């Protein structure tokens, strides 16, 4: 049985779309359909049924999906064990939106130099959804907001960044009282259903502030665009924006006690991808603001002189 057929099957089952799976794999939809047909012929059962433009896993598909994931993890582990002179292998990382645009680009560039044989597949999502995906074994690690509850002892957590709350506003409000802005200006709220969105909500309640709400969004980047447009102010974590914001946005620190949004990596203690996760974590730490960026020679993630560069894909 071809492992690439299993990989295609797992991806299609998770995405519910042949077209999206073909885009992620870099092959045509026809090739995806051919792989699925070949796998169904070999197993002797129908694995997918069409519902409009989507596909749904059958009962037979659900019966083998977890085992298929285990086989693929085992194959990736074996491939890595054979390359003793370098860190190598494929890794699936879930990441919230602000890390995809703020933290990961520089870290992945560093990773492509220090561990060029590591291939990263990035899955975007909310912290809550990615936490569940990690527990279900769909991803190897999750770059998320710190869970608002104790995590299982089988998981490992590493805090990589802490972000204080700031009032995000237009340059016209520079130097004004941040709490008065929250009371008087139209307010764009960070979604309270997000783990990170609970912190601003708690701060507002602790300070007796009931803002004039205009919108509630689950995307910090979208909130920043709306503030730049002049639609209001917002109370958000001081995350790393992916663009030059010096002339278009102002961040006003709020008085203490001020909660912080902790961003970090969560992964299984006994994960076969543990060495690869360590490399990603090191790359993020090396490219953190204020840290010296350098290549670690002789460390766990030092590049092998004999390995050729490979692209880190998302």
Domains, the chain:
1-81 (1.10.10.10), 163-261 (3.40.190.10)
Which whole number is the average pLDDT over 177-202?
95
**pLDDT at residue 85 in the model:** 55
| pLDDT at 302 > cutoff 60 | no
Q: Note the pTM of the prediction, 2 decimals.
A: 0.69
Lookup: tokens for 94:
């879930």
Residue pLDDT, tens place only, 250-298 = 999 999 999 999 999 999 988 878 888 998 999 999 988 766 434 433 4
Q: What is the mean pLDDT of the chain?
A: 84
CA separation for the pair 57, 123 (Å, rounded): 20
Whole-number Å distance between alpha carbons of 276 and 92: 10
* The predicted structure's pLDDT at residue 294: 40
Of the candidates 302, 265, 271, the residue with the CA atom closest to the CA atom of residue 284: 265
Which residues have C-beta within 8 Å of that of residue 203, sequence separation ≥ 6?
165, 235, 254, 258, 259
Residue 223 has a pLDDT of 94
The answer to whether the CB of 27 falls within 8 A of the CB of 11 is: no
| Separation of alpha carbons 65 and 14, rounded Å | 10
Instruction: Give 226's pLDDT tier (boundaries 50, 70, 90).
Output: very high
Given a cut of 50, is residue 54 above it in pLDDT? yes
Question: How far is the C-alpha of 206 from the C-alpha of 257, rounded, in Å?
Answer: 10
Question: For the chain, how are helix, strand and coil distributed in percent, rounded to 5?
Answer: 40, 25, 35
Give the up-direction half-sphere exposure of residue 106: CA atoms within 13 A in the CB hemisphere.
17
Secondary element (H or E) of residue 7: helix 3-15
Average pLDDT over residues 185-213: 95
- Evaluate if residue 300 carries a pLDDT over 70: no
Q: In this predicted structure, what is the pLDDT of residue 77? A: 62
Cα(286)–Cα(110) distance, rounded to whole angstroms? Answer: 8
């Amino acid at each position: 049985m071809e492992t690439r057929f299993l990989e295609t099957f797992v991806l299609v089952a998770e995405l519910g779309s042949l077209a999206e799976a073909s885009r992620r794999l870099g092959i045509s939809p026809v090739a995806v359909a051919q792989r699925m047909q070949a796998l169904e012929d070999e197993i002797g059962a129908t694995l997918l049924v069409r519902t409009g433009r989507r596909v749904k896993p059958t009962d037979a598909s659900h019966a083998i999906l977890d085992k298929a994931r285990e086989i693929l993890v085992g194959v990736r582990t074996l491939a890595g064990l054979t390359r003793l002179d370098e860190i190598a292998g494929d890794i699936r990382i879930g990441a919230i939106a602000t890390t995809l645009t703020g933290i990961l680009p520089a870290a992945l560039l560093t990773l492509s130099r220090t561990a060029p044989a590591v291939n990263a597949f990035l899955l975007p999502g909310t912290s809550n959804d990615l936490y569940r995906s990690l527990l279900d074994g769909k991803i190897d690690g999750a770059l998320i907001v710190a869970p608002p509850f104790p995590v299982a002892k089988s998981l490992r957590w590493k805090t990589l960044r802490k972000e204080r709350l700031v009032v995000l506003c237009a340059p016209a409000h520079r130097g004004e009282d941040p709490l008065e802005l929250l009371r008087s200006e139209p307010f764009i709220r960070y979604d309270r259903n997000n783990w990170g969105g609970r912190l601003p909500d708690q701060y507002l309640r602790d300070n007796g502030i009931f803002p004039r709400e205009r919108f509630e969004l689950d995307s910090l980047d979208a909130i920043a665009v709306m503030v730049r447009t002049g639609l209001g102010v917002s109370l958000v974590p001081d995350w790393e924006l992916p663009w030059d914001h010096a002339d278009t946005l102002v961040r006003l620190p709020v008085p203490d006690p001020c909660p912080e949004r902790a961003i970090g990596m969560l992964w299984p203690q006994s994960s076969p991808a543990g060495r690869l996760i360590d490399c990603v974590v090191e790359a993020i730490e090396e490219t953190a603001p204020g840290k010296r960026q350098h290549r670690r020679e002789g460390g766990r993630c030092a590049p092998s002189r004999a390995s050729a560069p490979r692209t880190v894909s998302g």
